[in-house]
Amino acid sequence: MLQRIQTVYMILSILAMGVLYVWFPEVKDTTGILVIEKKEPLVLVLLFAPVIITLISIFNFKKRKGQFVLNRLSILLNFVLLGVFVARSLKVSGETLVSMKGIGVLLPIISIVFLVLANKAIKRDEDLVKSVDRLR
């Protein structure tokens, strides 16, 4: 069923990543050197892979365990994206102009939170189905 709460959480996670793609175009340091750009292949893959995996997870609603695993994979990819953002920001000497785009670095964390909430709801559904099976 697509009308479950975990679907809402997964859609919110997808929207957070979409906002990240639209709103977080690039980060430059104080000298004007480009630190992070959304058109880089690594960043582009790490932006769209969690979105695609989460979409697959939404339409995989009949297999709750598979949905749980796909969401964990998406969480892992979001952590890698966050690590890339932090590593690139720390690699540059001096100060970066992240204050203008500061929320962009937090959007993968927001996506992770929504995916964790979705996994909790999936686990709750799985436990409910197991408890009903015990009564038969």
Q: Which domain holds residue 116?
A: 5-135
Neighbours of 108 (CB within 10 A): 27
Q: What is the pLDDT of residues 69-89, one digit of tens each?
A: 999 999 999 999 888 888 877
Stated pTM of the model: 0.83
Q: What is the pLDDT of residues 94-129, one digit of tens each?
A: 555 555 455 677 888 999 999 999 999 999 988 888
CA distances for 33 relative to 20, 40, 51, 90, 93, angstroms: 21, 15, 29, 14, 11
Number of structural domains the chain divides into: 1
